[in-house]
Amino acid sequence: MLFADSPVVDEVELVAGELAANAIRHSTSGEEGGVFTLHLMVRDGLALVGVRDLGGRGIPAVRNDPLNTRLSRGRGLLAVSRLAGTLGVYGNPLVGHLVWAELDGAPPMIP
């Protein structure tokens, strides 16, 4: 397995789950016939996690609104941003988004 025995396996699982849930909840990927793609890779000691969605509903963004009373929603990318060394979004609502995160501490790939 790609992340077996990795010190970041729990973080990779959380990040992948959050990005996939966001694709379903916040893009047309969650509509009938929709799809999303999960990308996992290890490179130079980094775990790379990305989800590509179909777009259609705004732009993914980190919400840091302590006055927002909806505590159970809207904080997923904030949690991902705190776990990740780098977090990014590529694309737009018309062509879809690739939301990705890099996590330090992945074991090197064995050639």
Whole-angstrom distance, CA of residue 36 vs CA of residue 27:
9
Collapsing DSSP to helix, strand or coil, 17 comes out as: helix
Q: Residue ranges of the domains in the chain?
A: 9-104
Q: What is the DSSP letter of 50?
A: E
Cα(38)–Cα(32) distance, integer angstroms? 18
Beta strands (DSSP E) in the chain are: 37-43, 46-52, 86-92, 96-104
CATH number, domain 9-104:
3.30.565.10
Question: Residue-wise pLDDT tens for the chain (111 aa)?
Answer: 677 777 888 999 999 999 999 999 999 999 999 999 999 998 888 889 999 999 987 888 887 765 555 555 567 888 898 889 899 999 999 999 999 999 987 665 554
Strand partners, 38: 51
